[in-house]
């Protein structure tokens, strides 16, 4: 059973997502409206059952842990807080066993409620959720529950309606950048502006991802730049994309296909990522409008097929073919 201790973190050798995990509600860099609402609940001593949902790396776990630290002193923490996360079992037995026994034990020394944190609650079976509903009902007097999940739809309505819901949206660039700047300062990291931009783009609002990429790139390279970030994450470089476009438009089909495939295999690139970058570039290349439209439609079709798990090689040849068709059109209309 995972229980959270409030002991000071051993900061050396710790992954940065833990080292820089916000310790108090004030440390969190986003969702100010949610945080002030929760702070108000705590101040007025009327915390409801909570349900946090939203994409990964947006501060759901950090928020409830910060609340718990504010609510309970060091020595009572372990007896007052039960934290279950992804590594714990999610069947009905957990609800009937550890959760029930934790919730039903009276707190002798302290008045006030205990806290049960159910991280990644969307992994709970329907049966377990139904059983949990009854436990929540029965022990509301001395226990508060906080359910955390990525997908709200996986939580049964009966549980949803017993909790106050908060959606944690992806973090914005303006929120991510200052935090990353703080970490790079603390860690003495040399980072270029385009490196910072690449971090923000690739993490798409997921602060955990941003920190993880920053840490691994800075460990592998002296300087964090767009190229080192892309290389570290296996994302195509600008020069790769320029080459791919050049081959597809200027070489014959067989050599274009072979060269792209070679590059792709050599660097372990995903066709999905190539497609995304090529697509961005097409918006900047000066194609006649009708030709550009045709090309974009074809690329979108390829993306759709890729998403359903089709062969990357066949889709790659389809991509090369789309560019060759464009070239033939441009040549014949000139
Ligand atoms: N709102 C935020 N403010 C500051 N750091 C954040 C925030 N959200 C995420 N992080 C960083 O990302 C890591 C993962 O956050 P976490 O709260 O576990 O996300 P979630 O539970 O939503 O997946 C944290 O350790 C922290 O370093
Ligand atoms: Mg979490």
19 lines ligand 1 (CB under 6 A): no
Question: Could you tell me if residue 117 is inside a domain?
Answer: yes
Measured from the Cα of 30, ligand 1's closest atom is: 1
Residues 249 and 142 grouped into a single domain? no
Task: Decide: 273 and 306 in contact? Cβ < 8 Å.
Answer: no
Nearest to 1 by CA among 77, 83, 74: 83
Residues 136 and 56 grouped into a single domain? yes
pLDDT of residue 110: 61
Residue 228 has pLDDT above 90, yes or no: yes
CA distance 260 to 129: 49
The CA-based angle 304-308-312, given to 5 degrees, is: 80
Question: Could you tell me if residue 22 is inside a domain?
Answer: no
Nearest to 147 by CA among 135, 160, 157: 160
Residues 57 and 105 grouped into a single domain? yes
Other Cβ atoms closer than 10 A to 41: 16
Take atom 18 of ligand 1 and give the residue whose Cα is closest: 61
22 lines ligand 1 (CB under 6 A): yes
Question: Could you tell me if residue 89 is inside a domain?
Answer: yes
Confidence of residue 109 (pLDDT cuts 50, 70, 90): low
Question: Could you tell me if residue 132 is inside a domain?
Answer: yes
Residues 138 and 200 grouped into a single domain? no
Strands 164-167, 143-149: pairing is unpaired
At residue 61, what are phi and psi to the nearest 5 degrees?
Answer: -60, -45
- Going from the Cα of 109 to the center of ligand 2, the distance in angstroms, rounded, reads 30
Measured from the Cα of 65, ligand 1's closest atom is: 17
170 lines ligand 1 (CB under 6 A): no
CA distance 223 to 162: 50
Mean pLDDT for the stretch of residues 250-279 = 95
- Going from the Cα of 195 to the center of ligand 2, the distance in angstroms, rounded, reads 26
Strands 81-84, 114-118: pairing is parallel
Question: Could you tell me if residue 17 is inside a domain?
Answer: no
30 lines ligand 1 (CB under 6 A): yes
Residues 147 and 188 grouped into a single domain? no
The SS3 assignment for 165 reads strand
Residue of 58, 62, 83, 172 to test ligand 1 pocket, by largest number of atoms within 8 Å of CB: 62
Residues 133 and 153 grouped into a single domain? yes
User: Domain ends where: 111, 141, 167?
Assistant: 167
- Going from the Cα of 244 to the center of ligand 1, the distance in angstroms, rounded, reads 37
Question: Residue 249: which residues within 8 A CB-CB, separation 6 or more?
Answer: 323, 324, 326, 327
Q: State the CATH number of the domain containing residue 116.
A: 3.40.50.300
Ligand closest to 65 (CA) is: 1
User: Domain ends where: 206, 233, 260?
Assistant: 233
CA distance 26 to 28: 6
| Residues above pLDDT 90, as percent of the chain | 68
CA distance 98 to 85: 13
The SS3 assignment for 190 reads strand
How many domains are there within the chain?
3
Q: State the CATH number of the domain containing residue 287.
A: 1.20.272.10
Take atom 17 of ligand 1 and give the residue whose Cα is closest: 59
- Going from the Cα of 66 to the center of ligand 2, the distance in angstroms, rounded, reads 13
Task: Decide: 291 and 330 in contact? Cβ < 8 Å.
Answer: yes
Question: Could you tell me if residue 3 is inside a domain?
Answer: no
Tens-place pLDDT, residues 160-172: 999 999 999 999 9
> Which of the listed ranges 6-10, 52-56, 104-108 does the model predict with the highest average pLDDT?
52-56
Residues 59 and 158 grouped into a single domain? yes
Question: Could you tell me if residue 266 is inside a domain?
Answer: yes
Residues 51 and 155 grouped into a single domain? yes
Confidence of residue 107 (pLDDT cuts 50, 70, 90): low
Tens-place pLDDT, residues 9-55: 555 678 999 999 999 998 999 889 999 999 999 999 889 999 999 99
User: Domain ends where: 212, 233, 254?
Assistant: 233
Output the CA–CA distances (angstroms, integers) from residue 105 to 33, 80, 108, 267, 268, in the order listed. Answer: 34, 10, 9, 57, 54
Residues 102 and 219 grouped into a single domain? no
Q: For all residues of the chain together, what is the average pLDDT?
A: 90
pLDDT of residue 7: 40
pLDDT of residue 10: 55
- Going from the Cα of 99 to the center of ligand 1, the distance in angstroms, rounded, reads 25
CA distance 118 to 82: 8
Strand ranges, E, within the chain: 50-53, 81-84, 114-118, 143-149, 164-167, 190-191, 223-224
Measured from the Cα of 28, ligand 1's closest atom is: 3
pLDDT of residue 5: 42
175 lines ligand 1 (CB under 6 A): no
Ligand closest to 206 (CA) is: 1
pLDDT of residue 11: 56
195 lines ligand 1 (CB under 6 A): no
Residue 320 has pLDDT above 90, yes or no: yes
Q: Please give the residue range of the domain that contains residue 162.
A: 31-167
Q: Among 94-98, 127-131, 240-244, 303-307, where is mean pLDDT lowest?
A: 94-98
Residues 39 and 103 grouped into a single domain? yes
Locate 216 and state its tokens.
Answer: 């691994």
Confidence (pTM): 0.85
Residues 177 and 137 grouped into a single domain? no
Confidence of residue 302 (pLDDT cuts 50, 70, 90): very high
Residues 101 and 131 grouped into a single domain? yes
Task: Please provide the size of the chain in residues.
Answer: 334
């Amino acid at each position: 059973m995972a229980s959270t201790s409030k002991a000071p973190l051993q900061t050396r050798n710790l992954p940065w997502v833990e080292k820089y995990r916000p310790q108090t509600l004030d440390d969190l860099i986003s969702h100010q409206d949610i945080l002030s609402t929760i702070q108000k609940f705590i101040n007025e001593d009327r915390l409801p059952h909570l349900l946090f949902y939203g994409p990964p790396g947006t501060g759901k776990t950090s928020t409830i842990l910060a609340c718990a630290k504010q609510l309970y002193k060091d020595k009572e923490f372990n007896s007052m807080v039960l934290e279950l996360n992804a590594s714990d079992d999610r069947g009905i037995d957990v609800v009937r066993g550890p959760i029930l026994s934790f919730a039903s034990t009276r707190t002798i020394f302290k008045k006030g409620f205990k806290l049960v944190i159910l991280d990644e609650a969307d992994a709970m079976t329907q049966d377990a959720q139904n059983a949990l509903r009854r436990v929540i009902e029965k022990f509301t007097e001395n226990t508060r529950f906080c359910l955390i999940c990525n997908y709200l739809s996986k939580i049964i309505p009966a549980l949803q309606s017993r909790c106050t819901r908060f959606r944690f949206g992806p973090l914005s660039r303006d929120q991510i950048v200052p935090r990353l700047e703080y970490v790079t300062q603390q860690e003495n990291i040399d980072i270029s502006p385009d490196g910072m931009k690449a971090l923000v783009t690739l993490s798409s609002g997921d602060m955990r991802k941003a920190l993880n990429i920053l840490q691994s790139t800075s460990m592998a390279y002296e300087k964090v730049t767009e190229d080192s970030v892309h290389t570290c994450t296996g994302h195509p470089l600008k020069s790769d994309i320029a080459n791919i476009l050049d081959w597809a438009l200027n070489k014959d089909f067989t050599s274009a296909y072979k060269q792209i495939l070679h590059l792709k295999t050599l660097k372990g690139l995903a066709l999905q990522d190539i497609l995304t970058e090529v697509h961005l570039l097409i918006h900047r290349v000066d194609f006649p409008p009708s030709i550009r439209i045709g090309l974009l439609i074809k690329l979108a079709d390829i993306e759709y097929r890729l998403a359903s798990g089709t062969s990357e090689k066949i889709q790659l040849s389809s991509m090369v073919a789309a560019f060759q068709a464009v070239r033939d059109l441009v040549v014949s209309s000139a």
